[in-house]
Amino acid sequence: MQYHVITTERCNLSCRYCGGTRNIPDLPLNISYDIGELGRFLSLDDGPVIGFYGGEPLLAVDRMVEIMDRIPARAFTLQTNGTLLKSLPDAYLKRLHSILVSIDGSREITDHNRGAGTYDRVMNNVMDMRDRGFTGDLVARMAFSDGGDILRDVTHLLDAGNEIFDHVHWQLDVFWSEIENREDITGFLDRYDDGISRLVDHFLHHLRKGGRPRIVPFIPLMSTLLTGIPSSLRCGSGIDSFSIMTSGEIHACPIAPELPYSLVGHICSSRPSDIAGSRPVGSPCTECDILDICGGRCLYSNMTMSWGRELFDRVCVSTGRMIDLLREALPEVRHLLDEGILPADSFDHPRINDGCEIIP
């Protein structure tokens, strides 16, 4: 299974849609459990994937290094805001299977959301990281919010730094921000839908030239459409992906440990087999006719309906439209595969659960 290990709840940024350091009652800012207990728990899983997460996990780089030294894993991954990458020693950097770096597009939109100078600092750090020998999967992980243009922002990152990012993924700013702070969420989603249509056209144009697929939401969705193999909740939360909080509590996903549905166990008293499949997505996703393709979109939104059922359904409309556009492209993609213009394994991504939620 995959485990988000929260090294710290502290963050050195205060982004518009997040707010930075989380002070959650009864949850320490830094790891308070013995790393040996974490090792004992994970030793009961025959192939754990450890994903370092926060807060900003590199604010506790010493803990990250200690865990990599002491605990065997099938793979190590990292989700980071990218500002502190130079603090990670070369030897540990090279051991990472994949790194998800938060960046929202161009300098203008990234600095607007994340603070002046963030874009240049992140780009400098990822180029330095490549120079230091990181050869794993480098994913630009966007937050798509007000002021964004999905075609503009994704294509910017696909081209940035001489195509330094292997893949681009995004999450919609829906259910993060307070609804009172969003002036026109329906208009925002309408503009997003239009942008997705243009982005699928761009994606197909790139594939026709034999270019490798690099847009993460499109790749696994296309794989499901090609194979017909149903998907469960794609991020794996509550199924085969869990979060180990700084207290040692185990939660279904890392974003809402204060909510009752999230807690599933503790590293000192639970086994991986106890928690596997413990939080399946529920209604209304289970009644949806595209569930086998979408997988359920988001456990948190399904469990909380934090913006209400009407807006929950409206976001699902956007997901359905994206799937419909990819389904329309399916015959052409099959032709490109059959003719050898695209390699047979073009849509085999991600090969491990690297923390990408897949469905925006």
Cα separation of 196 and 187, whole Å?
14
What contacts 24+ positions apart, CB below 8 Å, involve 327-330? 327/225, 329/200, 329/203, 329/204, 329/222, 330/222, 330/225, 330/226
Would you say residue 249 has pLDDT above 90? Answer: yes
Range(s) of the domain holding residue 293: 180-230+280-360
Q: Which of 311, 245, 244, 296 is nearest to 272 (CA)?
A: 244
- Residue 175: per-residue pLDDT: 80
Q: Is residue 212 scored above 90 in pLDDT? A: yes
pLDDT at position 331, please? 98
Ramachandran class of 296: left when φ > 0, alpha when ψ lies in -120 to 50, beta otherwise: left
Paired strand residues for 3: 50, 242
Report the percent of the chain where pLDDT is more than 70.
Answer: 100
Q: pLDDT tens for residues 140-151? A: 999 999 999 999
Residue 64 domain-assigned (yes or no):
no
Quick: pLDDT tens for 79-126: 999 999 999 999 999 999 999 999 999 999 999 999 999 999 999 999
What pLDDT score does 252 carry?
96
Strands (E), 81-172: 98-102, 137-144, 167-172
Q: Which two tokens stand for residue 293?
A: 């393709």
In-domain check, residue 32: no
pLDDT band for position 258 (cuts 50, 70, 90) = confident
In this predicted structure, the answer to whether residue 176 has a pLDDT above a threshold of 80 is: no
Q: Is 77 contained in some domain?
A: no
Confidence of residue 154 (pLDDT cuts 50, 70, 90): very high
Asked, for residue 357, whether it belongs to a domain, the answer is yes
Q: pLDDT at position 229, please?
A: 97
76 residue type, one letter: F
DSSP tag of 30? B
User: What pLDDT score does 265 carry?
Assistant: 97
pLDDT digits (tens, 9 = 90+) for 312-353: 999 999 999 999 999 999 999 999 999 999 999 999 999 999
Taking residues 230-238, report their average pLDDT: 97
Using a pLDDT cut of 90, give the percent of the chain over it.
Answer: 92
- Please give the pLDDT value at position 26: 86
Residue 204 has what pLDDT? 98
Check residue 238 and give its pLDDT.
96
Query: Distance between CA atoms of 223 and 134, rounded to whole angstroms?
Result: 27
Residue 63 lies in a domain: no
Strands (E), 178-331: 241-244, 249-251, 263-266
pTM for this prediction: 0.96
* Predicted confidence (pLDDT) per residue in 268-284, tens digit: 999 999 999 999 999 99
Q: Is residue 117 part of a domain?
A: no
130 is a domain residue: no
Higher-scoring residue by pLDDT: 130, 182:
130
pLDDT band for position 181 (cuts 50, 70, 90): confident
Q: What is the mean pLDDT of residues 220-247?
A: 97
The predicted pLDDT at position 124 comes to: 98
4-62 pLDDT, tens per residue? 999 999 999 999 888 788 888 889 999 999 999 999 999 999 999 999 999 999 999 99
Rounded Cα distance, 18 and 176, in Å:
7
Mean pLDDT rounded to a whole number for the chain: 96
Specify if 356 maps to a domain: yes
Q: Residue 22 has what pLDDT? A: 82
Number of separate domains in the chain: 1
